[in-house]
Amino acid sequence: MNSSEKDLEVRHATHPDQVRGFDTAALRGSYLVEDLFSPDTINAVLTHHDRIVLAGARPAGGPLTLGTWPELRSEFFLERREAGIVNVGGPGTVTVDGTKFELTTGACLYAGRGARDVVFEGSEAAFYIFSAAAHTDFPTTLVQPGEGNRLELGDQQTANRRTIDQYIHADGVRSCQIVLGVTTLHPGSTWNTMPAHTHDRRTECYLYFGLPESERIVHLLGEPDETRHLLVSDRQAVISPNWSIHSGAGTSAYSFVWAMAGENQAFGDMDGVDVKDLR
């Protein structure tokens, strides 16, 4: 099955002044990606915020091959792009130009510019694909959970104790412009990325997973002094423009893939916002 059989949804970039007049439907339509993971197809969204493509592949009934879309004007998907791929389902494999990689839950595969054939397999697997434009080549590289740079951040007293696995970054798996990792909240902690921040030089996207079907994430977005919220379900993604905070709290335990693309790859390049300054 080829992904070109499914239309690519295109979303235009938004200005922060627009958000002041958005109702719930407009917020969700602009920033929430609800339907990435449909059985036996590859769904994708292109946002004009840094030309990022988010896609989901669920090869429930057999292999899925990553194709391309007319909007990209490319012979194959990674002709001028790179991708970070994270398995947020059961065990599966990704084959890149004939080399097969085994991905456990939470594992990350980087596929560099120029890789032609990308095939997903695994009846219980669910592959999240984060792609950005690339102007140079880096080798395809697999990182299993715990094998990247691991950070322990936050505090139980503020309900934000969390483990961060950095996979694609300047001192880890190399890429042209992607920075990507997985954060897992500790038992009893609910808040992610609080205190909040923005980074004016990058767009960041969150893909929440490991959340029970009946539970939700309250995701905060918008300018620090003009915040809004989204109610997010399991395996849904949020597009966070460079001017927006990206923080949230869940009604149950959860993990999320954070991924960025933009002007630089410095993990610490962020503009912090004091909790008391949020509005």
Distances, alpha carbon 68 to alpha carbons 4, 74, 126, 166, in Å: 5, 7, 19, 28
Could you list the pLDDT tens digit for every one of the 279 residues in the chain? 454 357 899 999 999 999 999 999 999 999 999 999 999 999 999 999 999 999 999 999 999 999 999 999 999 999 999 999 999 999 999 999 999 999 999 999 999 999 999 999 999 999 999 999 999 999 999 999 999 999 999 899 889 999 999 999 989 999 999 999 999 999 899 999 989 999 999 999 999 999 999 999 999 999 999 999 999 999 999 999 999 999 999 999 899 999 999 888 888 889 999 999 999
Burial class (CB in 10 A: 0-12, 13-18, 19+), 149: middle
pLDDT of residue 1: 42
Q: Are 176 and 168 in contact (CB under 8 A)?
A: no
Q: Are 53 and 129 in contact (CB under 8 A)?
A: yes
What pTM was computed for the model? 0.95
Q: Measured on CA atoms in the order 59, 125, 218, 224, is the torsion positive or negative?
A: negative
pLDDT of residue 4: 39
Distances, alpha carbon 215 to alpha carbons 20, 126, 168, 207, 278, in Å: 28, 19, 29, 15, 25
- CA-wise closest residue to 279 among 218, 228, 239, 217: 228
Half-sphere exposure of 70 (CA within 13 A, CB side): 3
- CA-wise closest residue to 56 among 31, 27, 88, 80: 88
Q: Are 230 and 221 in contact (CB under 8 A)?
A: yes
- CA-wise closest residue to 76 among 129, 49, 113, 37: 113
Which tokens in the block code for residue 191?
């808040």
Report the topology of domain 3-277: Jelly Rolls (2.60.120)
Which tokens in the block code for residue 223?
């300018």
Cross-strand bridge partners of residue 223:
226
Q: Are 273 and 144 in contact (CB under 8 A)?
A: no
pLDDT of residue 269: 86
- DSSP three-state, residue 122: coil
Distances, alpha carbon 164 to alpha carbons 85, 167, 191, 274, in Å: 17, 9, 13, 21
pLDDT of residue 68: 96
Distance of CA 256 to the CA centre of its chain: 8
